[in-house]
Amino acid sequence: MEMARAELAACTRKGCAQAPQLSLLVGSLLLSRGDAREALTQLRKHPAPPLLAPYRSFAIGQALFYTRDFRAAAQAFQEAATATGVVANRAVARAGEALLRAGEAGQALPLLERALGALGGPELLSARSEARAALGDLAGAQADLHTLMVRYPRSQAAMDADAELRGSSAPAVALTLDERLQRTRVFLDSGDPKLALAELDRSETNGLVPDAGSRAEVALLRAQAFFALNRVPDAEEALQVASSGPPATAAEAMLVRARRLLKLDEHDKAIERLQEISKKFAGEPASEEADYFLGWLALQEGKLQAAAEALENFERRHPESRRRDEACFFRALAQIRNANWSEADRALRELQERYPRSGMVPQAKYWRVRVKHLAGGKPVDDYQDILKLYPQTFYGLLAQERLRELGAKPEPIFTERPRLSTKVAAAPELALPRALASAGLWRESAEELRARLGAVHTPDAALRVGTSLARVGEAWAAYHLANRLLWGKAYAQKDPAALALLYPRPYGSHVDETARAQGVHSSLLYAIMRRESAFRPDRLSAARARGLMQLMARTASAIARELQRDPPEPDELYRPELNLDLSAWYVGQLAKRFVHPVLIAAAYNAGPSVTLKWTSEIGSMPVDLFVESMPFKETRAYVKQVVADDYLYQSFYGGGSDARRLAMTLPKPASSGIEF
């Protein structure tokens, strides 16, 4: 803030051309700090350049709104609404809200309707409800509140409306039992069991639970909330009630118990429950999950023939299940581990024929070739085909290594290094985002940029706009376009410019320096970055991981202590250099303990302790079989992408004449080392 003010003062004294942009920046920063009056004074000192004029009008509207001059705020917002882009829709919404506060519900309503159509969202629903109520449309107001509470139960607008209704004489919004239970599930899924229990209490208080069937359904959700709160006796009591309900609810209650037992590592008891569901409740939704888990657990416990039979039985019993392709592949995996090559090939062939659109087809094709190899064949041409079909994947990498085992040289796929086009193509779509960025309005620039990326629909446009973005350092935005539209150009046509956008190297000198310092390949850091954040330094995950390498605050603090540095504030992890410094040290420590890139990637995703457990149980398997046998679906996908990308980055940019090899056996991890 003070730096921006000082720069503006110096610019004003010199009469430099950047004073309008700096004035807009300082005004916006004052607004974010809550100094609305001072912001208004500052924003009125300089007109903005034409591209930024709507943003200046919007900021003035915000300042006027917060100083409670609602009519003047509405006028400023309406000036901003004449623009194109993200700011226009936000300005229409704010103009409607300002007019509503000014007591002009009739003028506010059409603006709120227009904004709702463009933006949606709980706040606008709440505002339209208020406008409708002010105009005497009580039925419309109630309908909006009903939608708000059902569609957005966790929004602040819904919670405020709910609290206001309960504390007033206004008629309550009538929700059905199904709607109350839907809200309960949202609260449970979002990790708020107390709100879930409160919602169930209200269902009973409002007389929505009249019969044994509905009481059982409510009890089932209560049990899940109680388990989340570690109120185990209460949960068990609720499950008893749920178990006496209709078959579908009773089966789900038994499934909740089975999941609980699995979490406690009481597998034998869990299997008994799953078998009971399968026999007693065949045809109920819970039986699908029970049957799948019976096969999966048998595979994890090494009961290979039993696993294959159970998974084939799952396919027969649940012909509409979305998990049939997974069951078919894991049936094949069980037979591969059991060295039953003919049955493995049958399952893999059936997967390709029955589920041709499945994302598991590439691995089915690889494993059919691998089975032929394991059975004594020398499928050189087949491995070459896998490499040509899926050069960017883990299976393409595996095919290269298997070819070398057979004494064959993998055919080169990407004959040119990735490089941006030397042609300078105009990208008028980026004019406004660039103007906002040059004014220091980074959040607004990113919003406009995302909107413009969504309007790019062809590979040629993606290449043109992406190249322009890459040249100014916006790797995340260029990658976003390339990942959506340039697969054909990159992997079928082997276009070097498309490959450069799909495999960028942002923060190159810093990545290379930190990689050397920690004794790891820079290609591995880029591969992790590509998977974790898609190169977005401002990425925040649902689990609160932050930045380029998606560090959790507690992990960053632990790393900082090891490095004898002050623990960073969580939001400091959005700084690319800091995020890279801490995560590169962590990757280096993982590399010292685990050595192999498959294990390093697994430990980065699932944690060192879990990875150590897997290596002790199945670490003697070849690498390809080990990865397919890891219990966590997310980690399997993560390892496959990171390892493939690591080797692609190395082949694209490594500069060495000899290709780096992927060891097909796993080393034993060090007995001591990084543990968090």
In angstroms, rounded to a whole number, what is the distance separating the alpha carbons of residues 103 and 68?
A: 12
Handedness of CA 596, 600, 603, 609 (dihedral sign): positive
Residue 143: is it exposed, middle or buried by C-beta count within 10 angstroms (0-12/13-18/19+)?
middle
CA of residue 25 relative to chain centroid, distance: 31
Question: What does the pLDDT look like over 21-69, one tens digit per residue?
Answer: 999 999 999 999 999 999 999 999 999 999 999 999 999 999 999 999 9
Strand partners, 551: 546
Residue with tokens 């995302």: 450
Hey, what amino acid is at 295?
G
pLDDT at 657 over 60: no
Question: What does the pLDDT look like over 583-603, one tens digit per residue?
Answer: 999 999 999 999 999 999 999
Of 83-87, 137-141, 313-317, 540-544, which range is least confident?
Answer: 83-87
Q: Which tokens belong to 55?
A: 């943003």
In angstroms, rounded to a whole number, what is the distance separating the alpha carbons of residues 250 and 318?
A: 20
Q: Which tokens belong to 247?
A: 């078959």
Question: What does the pLDDT look like over 478-506, one tens digit per residue?
Answer: 999 999 999 999 999 999 999 999 999 99
Which of left, alpha, beta for 507 (phi over 0: left; psi -120 to 50: alpha)? left
Residue 136 CB partners (closer than 8 Å, separation 6+): none
- Cα separation values, 102 from 69, 75, 131, Å: 8, 12, 11
pLDDT at 385 over 90: yes
Mean pLDDT over 623-637 rounds to 98
Say if CB 35 and CB 68 are below 8 A apart. no
* Global confidence as pTM: 0.91
Mean pLDDT over 382-407 rounds to 97
- Closest by CA position to 446, among listed 486, 476, 485: 476
Mean pLDDT over 635-648 rounds to 98
SS3 category, 654: coil
SS3 category, 282: coil
What is the set of domains in the chain, with CATH numbers? 2-153 (1.25.40.10), 304-410 (1.25.40.10), 428-502 (no CATH), 508-653 (1.10.530.10)
SS3 category, 551: strand
In angstroms, rounded to a whole number, what is the distance separating the alpha carbons of residues 105 and 128?
A: 9
Residue with tokens 């960025």: 437
pLDDT at 412 over 70: yes
pLDDT at 3 over 90: no
In angstroms, rounded to a whole number, what is the distance separating the alpha carbons of residues 525 and 518?
A: 11
- Closest by CA position to 66, among listed 98, 103, 41: 98
pLDDT at 185 over 60: yes
What DSSP character marks residue 488? I
Supply the pLDDT for residue 675: 95
Supply the pLDDT for residue 41: 95
pLDDT at 169 over 80: no
Cβ count near 481 (within 10 Å): 24
Question: What does the pLDDT look like over 413-442, one tens digit per residue?
Answer: 999 999 998 877 788 989 999 999 999 999
In angstroms, rounded to a whole number, what is the distance separating the alpha carbons of residues 665 and 611?
A: 15
Supply the pLDDT for residue 658: 65
What DSSP character marks residue 672? S
pLDDT-based confidence at residue 8 (cuts at 50, 70, 90)? confident
CA angle in degrees (0–180, nearest 5) for 167-106-124: 55
Question: What does the pLDDT look like over 503-531, one tens digit per residue?
Answer: 999 999 999 999 999 999 999 999 999 99
Q: Tell me the DSSP string of 336-399.
A: HHTT-HHHHHHHHHHHHHH-TT-TTHHHHHHHHHHHHHHTT---HHHHHHHHHH-TTSHHHHHH
SS3 category, 471: helix
Which of left, alpha, beta for 539 (phi over 0: left; psi -120 to 50: alpha)? beta
Task: Count Cα neighbours of 411 within 13 Å in the Cβ-side half-sphere.
Answer: 13
Say if CB 287 and CB 277 are below 8 A apart. yes
CA angle in degrees (0–180, nearest 5) for 396-527-337: 45
Supply the pLDDT for residue 597: 98
% of the chain at pLDDT higher than 90 = 92
Hey, what amino acid is at 169?
S
Question: What does the pLDDT look like over 105-140, one tens digit per residue?
Answer: 999 999 999 999 999 999 999 999 999 999 999 999
543-570 burial: b if 16+ Cβ within 10 Å, else e: eebbbbbbbbbebbbbbbeeeeeeebeb
Say if CB 294 and CB 330 are below 8 A apart. no
Mean pLDDT over 617-625 rounds to 97
In angstroms, rounded to a whole number, what is the distance separating the alpha carbons of residues 249 and 240?
A: 11
Supply the pLDDT for residue 173: 81
pLDDT at 84 over 90: no
Say if CB 237 and CB 245 are below 8 A apart. no
Supply the pLDDT for residue 181: 97
Q: Which tokens belong to 122?
A: 């709980």
- Closest by CA position to 68, among listed 96, 98, 105, 91: 98
Mean pLDDT over 561-569 rounds to 96
Say if CB 298 and CB 274 are below 8 A apart. no
Name the average pLDDT for the chain. 95
- Closest by CA position to 76, among listed 124, 31, 106, 121: 31
Handedness of CA 511, 515, 518, 521 (dihedral sign): positive
